[in-house]
Structure 1
Amino acid sequence: MKEVEIYTDGACSGNPGPGGYGTVLKYGIYEKELYGAYDNTTNNRMELMAVIKGLESLKEPCLVTVYSDSKYVVDAITKGWVTRWRAKGWMRNSKERAKNIDLWQRLLQLAEGHQIRWVWVKGHADNEYNNRCDRLAVDAIKNCPRQPDNPL
């Protein structure tokens, strides 16, 4: 299997508000940038979208390391929260529905077939690729045509 690194970040101007995602894929000496913008979204949705866009770009099963500065994304996966939410009909507890179900469903489906290691990195710190993803996400909000965000 090919080994791929996916660096991700999401940004939002207001929460909710206009948002963007930035993703950098690394495979050996090759790098690819992905970015885009959405209207009336949230930071957590953009963090998820950054991972989704990275996984969508893979053409075959890979050994993937996903780097994210989002505790929401990394903890939900590594601590099994999203698995429990799905098993309970997307409920966080007896009264509270999970958020961003549409994106979690996409992410889980895209993750199938890959072997993924999830790594949390401190945002706005020393990780060159996380900082690059942040710039891509912020620039996308300012410069890209925004798509409507249609959460469940």
Structure 2
Amino acid sequence: MYIVGGCNSQSEEKEGYYAAELRYKDKSRFIGRNIDNTTSNRVVIEGLIDIIKILKEPCIINVYSAGTYGYKSMYNKRGQYRETIKGVNNDLLSILQKLLIENNHILLDNRSNKHTKRLKEAYMRFKIKQGGEIE
């Protein structure tokens, strides 16, 4: 999964978005959503949550993004899930962690800016449908 997000923190609505590309075998799917009252980190975490909800079977999820967006705080030093997540986005991280555990997914961080420009361009090319998914 390649994911990018952004937020206009200067606007009153704090308008944000995420765009992601899912790849599985020879298939590719774009998904994205606009989100108000958010931050750049929160939109990416919400994107991860949305994507995990559509996965149909347990997966090892390689996340390629410009940063970790705080999701490393779900793990202790031994790589095990924490019982209590602390931090700014602990509400969303708790939801993300619960989904990962319930669906037997593994999240792997692969920080990279390599695909960020391509994802931003793809996001701008596609019109967002009413349901929030990229056409």
The normalised TM-score by structure 1 is 0.66
Identical pairs, percent: 25
Per the alignment, residue 101 of structure 1 pairs with 90
* Higher-strand-fraction structure: 1
Highest RCO, 1 vs 2 (Cα 8 Å, sep ≥ 6): 1
Per the alignment, residue 14 of structure 1 pairs with 9
Instruction: Count residues in correspondence.
Output: 127
CA distance in 1, matches of 2:130, 2:80: 31
SS at match of 1:105: helix
Q: Where do residues 27-46 of structure 1 align in structure 2 (5 Å cutoff)?
A: 27-46=24-43
Task: Work out whether 1:57 is the aligned partner of 2:54.
Answer: yes
Q: Give the residue type in structure 1 aligned to 2:4.
A: D
* Higher-helix-fraction structure: 1
Unpaired runs of 5+ residues, structure 1, are 1-5, 92-97, 148-152
Is the 2:75–2:81 Cα contact (8 Å) retained in structure 1? no
Describe the superposition over 1:32-61 as per-residue Cα deviations: whole angstroms up to 9, x where unpaired: 010001112111101212222222221111
Task: Work out whether 1:115 is the aligned partner of 2:106.
Answer: yes
Q: Using the TM superposition, name which of 105-114 and 73-82 deviates more.
A: 73-82
Q: Give the residue type in structure 2 aligned to 1:64.
A: I
The normalised TM-score by structure 2 is 0.73
